A and B are shown apart, each in its own frame.
Chain A
Amino acid sequence: MNDKNKQPIGPEECAMSGKIDYEELRKLISLLEEKGLSIFELEVEGLKVKIGRNAPQPAPSAIAPPGGPAAGPAAPHESAAAAEARALAIEVAKGHHMITSPMVGTFYRAPDPASPPFVDIGDVVKKGQTLCIIEAMKLMNEIEADVDGTVVEIYGENAKPVEYGQKLFAILPSS
């Protein structure tokens, strides 16, 4: 890539033209790795790059519900967990800041059923501002924003249980 062509390299893009040197390729491959991509193809002005990685994920995540599809207990969690991890990675890649549950309990979006929710998608929040309540052991725990920013996603469902580490909110920090 020439200097005059310098462009920001976004998560899944890579603008370039003409020649490519080792350093650029190294960066590309690192990006690939970082983003967990399995294949990358680029073709621009006579330049064509194709990079592939072995798909990871071995057996454990392939656990099927024991006893076949119909019978037996479901073991859905690990695949859910894997999906969650993947989703989280994407969110983080987007520059979102995640608020996860620091405890096990019941998630409430409002201080009481009659009140409006603490926050909604699109709201600008300040660090320290209450986002929700998690009830655990009969205690109401206020969960606060730990950054300034905008709420871009709300994952918890009102009055539903949440476990430790479960995503509650995505916030796009104001920079």
Chain B
Amino acid sequence: MTTSVVHPLAHGDSVIHRIDPRVRLLCVLAASVCIAATSRPGPLLAACALAAVLVLVARIPWRPLWRRLRVLNAFMAIVLLTVPFSMQGETIWQAGALGASREGLAQALRIILTGNTLVLLLTSLVATIEPTVLAHALLHLRVPDKLVRILMFAVRYIDVLNDSRLRMDRAMKARGYVARCNAHTVRTSAYLVACLLAQSLDRAARIERAMRCRGWRGQFPVLNHFHAGARDVRFACLFAGALAAAMVMP
């Protein structure tokens, strides 16, 4: 019954998967800054196309991709329904007292385009990194050691705790529990959370002992190192070129 929550998208060997994770992270960061800072439709459309190409190259399965885009675009639907009507400007469509403005519509479309582009980029370049590898990459990018250790522990134990949650979930269902909007459900959820909390703290205490048994003195040694090669540099140059080209679009 173990279904892992913590697994990278597309356990694949696409070109993207083979690029140094540090390079991919830096590419997404640079692109995020550029895309967030631009407001003209040309560059946004070009960047969105670039992100879509990367998603195709990384061979992201459509089901998780669709799930992500659905989460984002449920919110974007609200943006599209509110922003055109609340922004001042040239009215292009009148519905009773409400008028949609051209500027508002443009703003809403800009938000939708930006959001989708950034999510596609994150999905293709970063979500395809094995989480433990990502942690190491962050360590090499000078993210504080303690923060990365918290990430490593979390990645390590999310599945352990989640399996436990799923087993308790089944045991509850087997005893006729159905989540409803009532006090019994609130109390039951609280029991579940308290159980998970107690389990995680007990395990943390045992882990701390296991670490002491193996001579831990307060520092976490690092063994793995990354080596960026010619392919990674080529990818970075290509990505930078494409991004720059997108940004100068009319």
- Bound together: no
Task: Please give the residue numbers on chain B whose beta carbons come within 8 Å of chain A beta carbons, in ascending order.
Answer: none
Task: Please give the residue numbers on chain A whose beta carbons come within 8 Å of chain B beta carbons, in ascending order.
Answer: none
